[in-house]
A and B are shown apart, each in its own frame.
Chain A
């Protein structure tokens, strides 16, 4: 892992078009400003992991189970 030290107001670039700026340091919390193209996904880690994990689980859905679900749906 690359480790850099930055002061409030300082920033860094990732490639040509992603810029991260340290906006505020308050106790244990740091506010970051992130400028990135719309094609780049920027998310808090816990949110990213939750959605990624859910997508992985969903990708394992079996056709036979969908057919059963469809049957249950029609009965309602």
Chain B
């Protein structure tokens, strides 16, 4: 498994690696410059702030947002524009300002997926509560989109 972050290709002189035993990936090693800080934390998990993005498998758009403060907490996420190419919630501009995103390519938008156990066809994406991250500062938050176009249970695959 390869961890992903903005500066993952840069080898830090002081890598400050630490290990975490996760539910899905066994032991992972994380460098300080790969850690994403969600402030405030995800609703319902507001006490946890440190996460890392991990590819699920090569050549698929699925990533794991693995919590570093609680080893068994992880979310499957996807770029919502893989699902809706014109996904552009109105409150995105506010998030860009609050996260002090300077270049559009520094903004990472992730929709959290819910997959009912044993029913992958019924997977839904939460387009009302995307996670937005400034890849330069690695600061992020869960944006709440109050826009009737976007559902918290957007069906991904045809029923």
Contacts and interface: CB of A to CB of B under 8 A. Distances in A.
A41 B42 CA distance: 10
Interface stretch (A8-16, A17-25, A27-35, A64-72): A64-72
Interface string B55-81: 011011110100000000111100000
Given A47-B144, A58-B112, A70-B62, A65 B120 contact: yes
Interface residues of B, number: 41
B59 A74 contact: yes
B150 to A, nearest CB: 12
A69 B62 contact: yes
A72 B123 CA distance: 11
**A-side interface mostly:** helix
Given A51-B144, A61-B113, A61-B115, A70 B57 contact: yes
Interface in A25-76: 38-41, 43, 47-48, 50-63, 65-70, 72-74
Contacts, number: 98
Contacts of B152: 50-51, 54
Q: What is the interface of chain B mostly: helix, strand, loop, or mixed? A: loop
Given A51-B128, A55-B42, A55-B43, A73 B115 contact: no
A68 B153 CA distance: 19
Given A59-B73, A69-B120, A54 B40 contact: no
A65 B117 contact: yes
Given A54-B129, A58-B76, A61-B75, A66 B115 contact: yes
Contacts of B60: 70, 73-74
A47 B56 CA distance: 30
Contacts of A73: 60-62
Given A47-B146, A50-B152, A69 B115 contact: yes
A9 to B, nearest CB: 27
Given A66-B62, A68-B120, A40 B40 contact: yes
